[in-house]
């Protein structure tokens, strides 16, 4: 049985209390190992190690030296990709065919992409006049923010964790990572890579645990933490925001979503169906940017619905190592119970179940796993809870619309504003509608196409702040103005 220890100041350590919790594989509910739960002492040790590292060799490195070191980390993740892949798929149950092309290589790439952004982004400089006629020069100077608390989710554990750790370290900060209690493996394994690559002790730390009255709360309330970055659901984000208010720590949060897709009659129907299938069902619907509300212009509504049902029927459920499988289990039995609750609620609220809606029979070896059927509904009212609340499962509701104005109103009829997809062959409409949709990310005739130089974040209840590219520099650094009198 595996033991998942904390990684503090370059060493793997257990909790002084000896307290652990189970890590189980969602494929069959088998026990993967025991995870040590951090108490205040472990969190305090990790934060103090991160604070001390800022004054050690890490703090004295040049930007070029840091970038070289982080590029080495990226290369080493790729060299050990089989280990990272196995660990990620044991924790999440997702198919190897998906994780091997997305989770692991893109998780590694985050270290290189953000290092390159930092290296190539200038700071500002202004010449100004002064009363004596001699003038002055203003120079912008960026310095690390300090100790950054990274609280990462379970749906894309390595990728979304390194999306934060990569730029934080590139900017010269140190980090304390609290991965989701559901997916401790790859954050822990990355500690080995940091040591192999010569990253100084204390720069990268990992503490395991839960949220309230556990590692998450102890980390976000620690007075030596200078900034907090979080990806997860909105209620947890609100709690973190309250904690960050004490001491006025900076926060960056990407939160929940109830994302729409708008499918116009002039779209390429083949591409719209393929793209919406991905946005609704990839990673078992456990993607913050995924689509749960689909609005289709009435002339193509019936054809689109029929094509979607046919495509869902072709999804292949199976073990991660099955090369034919493209659909895995949910991350845990607890999350399966939550999603199944919404499946039952949809029927109570008057939905027509077009396909799915239940728990599949996976056979004796897998029936204890967190499996659930991919599901499509129609017929719900716009105020139904299934339409209003984030489910985070492999499901979507499809509804017709008649006018562009109606489509925009439906898309914006939500407290969330993370992402949207627009499918149309009319470029003028694409721009016009995209500008009016209230979301941080809008894709036109695509989905999940990400340039890491661009802004990432949500509007309304879907988050605060932007990361990605130069936007991440604003969060992970302090910008100082130096005025030099000539």
In this prediction, the residues of the chain whose per-residue pLDDT falls under 70 are: 1
The pLDDT tens digits for 141-168 are 999 999 999 999 999 999 999 999 999 9
> How high is the pLDDT of residue 122?
86
> How high is the pLDDT of residue 116?
84
Residue 426 phi/psi, 5-degree rounding, is: -105, 110
Which residue among the candidates 288, 373, 390, 395 is catalytic per the annotation? 288
Name the nearest CA neighbour of 412 among 450, 461, 464, 378. 461
Interior/surface letters 365-404, b for 16+ CB within 10 angstroms, e for the rest: ebebbbbbbbbbbeebeeebebbebbbbbbbbbbbbbeeb
- Distance, in Å, from the CA atom of 152 to the CA atom of 211, rounded to the nearest integer, reads 12
- Distance, in Å, from the CA atom of 320 to the CA atom of 376, rounded to the nearest integer, reads 24
Contact between 90 and 316 (Cβ < 8 Å): no
Name the nearest CA neighbour of 158 among 100, 103, 112. 103
Which residue among the candidates 37, 42, 182, 254 is catalytic per the annotation? 254
- Integer CA distances (angstroms), 56 to 50, 172, 201, 203, 290, in order: 10, 12, 9, 10, 42
Name the nearest CA neighbour of 113 among 159, 179, 54, 173. 159
- Distance, in Å, from the CA atom of 332 to the CA atom of 33, rounded to the nearest integer, reads 15
> How high is the pLDDT of residue 426?
98
- Distance, in Å, from the CA atom of 157 to the CA atom of 185, rounded to the nearest integer, reads 9
- Distance, in Å, from the CA atom of 380 to the CA atom of 91, rounded to the nearest integer, reads 34
How many secondary structure helices (H) and strands (E) does the chain include? 17, 23
**Plot region of 366 (φ>0 → left; ψ -120 to 50 → alpha; else → beta):** alpha
Kind of pairing between the strands at 250-254 and 463-464 = antiparallel
> How high is the pLDDT of residue 333?
98
Does 192 participate in catalysis according to the annotation?
A: no
> How high is the pLDDT of residue 115?
84
Does 288 participate in catalysis according to the annotation?
A: yes
Q: State CA 265 to chain mean position distance.
A: 32
> How high is the pLDDT of residue 57?
97
403 Cβ contact partners less than 8 Å away, ≥ 6 residues apart: none
């Amino acid at each position: 049985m595996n033991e998942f220890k904390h990684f503090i100041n370059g060493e793997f350590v257990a909790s002084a209390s000896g307290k652990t919790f189970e890590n189980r594989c969602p494929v069959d509910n088998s026990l993967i190992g025991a995870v040590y739960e951090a108490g205040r002492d472990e969190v305090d040790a990790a934060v103090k190690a991160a604070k001390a590292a800022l004054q050690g060799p890490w703090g004295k490195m040049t930007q070029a030296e840091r970038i070289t070191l982080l590029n080495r980390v990226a290369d080493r993740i790729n060299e050990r990709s089989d280990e990272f892949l196995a660990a990620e798929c044991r924790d999440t149950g997702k198919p190897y065919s998906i994780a091997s092309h997305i989770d692991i290589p893109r998780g590694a790439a985050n270290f290189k992409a953000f290092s390159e952004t930092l290296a190539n982004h200038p700071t500002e400089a202004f010449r100004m006049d002064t009363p004596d006629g001699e003038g002055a020069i203003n120079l912008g100077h960026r310095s690390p923010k300090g100790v950054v608390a990274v609280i990462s989710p379970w749906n894309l554990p390595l990728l979304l964790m390194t999306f934060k750790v990569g730029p934080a370290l590139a900017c010269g900060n140190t980090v304390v990572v609290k991965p989701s209690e559901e997916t401790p493996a790859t954050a822990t394994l990355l500690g080995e890579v940091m040591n192999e690559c010569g990253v100084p002790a204390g720069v990268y730390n990992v503490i395991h645990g839960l949220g309230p009255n556990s590692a998450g709360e102890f980390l976000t309330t620690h007075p030596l933490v200078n900034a907090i970055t979080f990806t997860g659901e909105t209620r947890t984000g609100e709690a973190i925001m309250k904690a960050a208010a004490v001491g006025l720590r900076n926060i960056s949060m990407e939160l929940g979503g109830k994302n729409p897709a708008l499918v116009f009659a002039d779209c390429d129907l083949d591409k719209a169906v393929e793209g919406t299938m991905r946005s609704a069902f990839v990673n078992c619907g456990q993607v913050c940017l995924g689509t749960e509300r689909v609005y289709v212009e009435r002339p193509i509504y019936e054809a689109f619905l029929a094509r979607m049902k046919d495509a869902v029927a072709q999804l292949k459920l199976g073990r991660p190592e099955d090369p034919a499988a493209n659909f895995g289990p949910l991350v845990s039995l607890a999350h399966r119970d939550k999603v199944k609750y919404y499946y039952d609620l949809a029927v109570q609220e008057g939905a027509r179940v077009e396909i799915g809606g239940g728990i599949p029979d996976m056979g004796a070896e897998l029936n204890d796993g967190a499996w659930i059927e991919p599901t499509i509904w129609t017929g719900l009212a716009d105020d139904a809870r299934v339409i209003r609340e984030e489910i985070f499962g492999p499901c979507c509701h499809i509804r017709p619309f008649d006018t562009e104005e109606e489509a925009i109103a439906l898309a914006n009829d939500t407290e969330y504003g993370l992402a949207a997809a627009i499918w149309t062959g009319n470029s003028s409409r694409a721009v016009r509608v995209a500008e009016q949709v209230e979301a941080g990310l809008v894709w036109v005739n695509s989905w999940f196409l990400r340039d890491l130089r661009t802004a990432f974040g949500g509007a309304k209840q879907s988050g605060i702040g932007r990361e990605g590219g130069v936007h991440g520099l604003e969060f992970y650094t302090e910008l100082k103005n130096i005025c030099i009198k000539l």
